[in-house]
Amino acid sequence: MSDHADSPAAPPSPGWSRRFPRDERIFLWLIALSVVAMTSFTIAWVAGFGNQNAPDNTFRTTPEEFRAQVGAFTAKYLGDDGKVHVPPGTDAYLMALRYGFSPNLVLKAGHSYQLLVSSIDVLHGFSIVGGHQNLNIEIVPEHVFRVTLKPEDPGTYLIIFNEFCGLRHHEMRGQIIVER
């Protein structure tokens, strides 16, 4: 004699298929509406309101060519303080190499610059922190990345090299000085 409750065709135990109480239904609707609202906000922000500052364009080069361009740029705008003072509206060059970058740039606040960045040796990560900037790119050898940089506030903008490039990677430091 078998117990009917143990049979595979037995109905579910009481309460298994109950309706959600009203407060649980309200909670689930609030979660669903929150997800829809956050998703919509994110799409709108990325599509039209966010300043993502992705590279405008890239082009190929050789390390030797880029080093020569950076050298000519540095010689043209080098100040007595050993830093390169870039006039507004001028393309600014930055060369990443183990374990730093060259040259040290000085920019004017409130002006747009086209920043041309390349690596002459290995892959480097490159982020600018400060002044409401959102700039984060991977710098690949033999490619020049052109990004728009418009520092609004004077100060020191840190350059973070966020891609491991060798044993002394932790020594990589950089900054861009922004003056009035």
Q: What residue spans define the domains of the chain? A: 57-179
Question: Which pLDDT score is estimated for 111?
Answer: 94
| Beta pairing partners, 92 | 115
- Residue 104 CA to residue 161 CA, distance in Å, equals 15
* Per-residue pLDDT tens listing for the chain (180 residues): 555 555 667 666 666 667 778 898 899 999 999 999 999 998 887 777 665 555 657 889 999 999 999 999 999 999 999 999 999 989 999 998 888 888 999 999 999 999 999 999 988 888 887 777 778 888 889 999 998 888 989 999 988 888 777 777 777 878 899 999
Question: Which pLDDT score is estimated for 21?
Answer: 86
pTM for the complete prediction? 0.66
SS3 track for the chain? CCCHHHCCCCCCCCCCCCCCCHHHHHHHHHHHHHHHHHHHHHHHHHHHHCCCCCCCEEEECCHHHHHHHHHHHHHHHECCCCCEECCCCCCEEEEEECCEEECCEEEECCCCEEEEEEECCCCEEEEEECCCCCEEEEECECEEEEEEECCCCCEEEEEECCCCCCCCHHHCCEEEEEEC
Task: Name the CATH topology of 57-179.
Answer: Immunoglobulin-like (2.60.40)
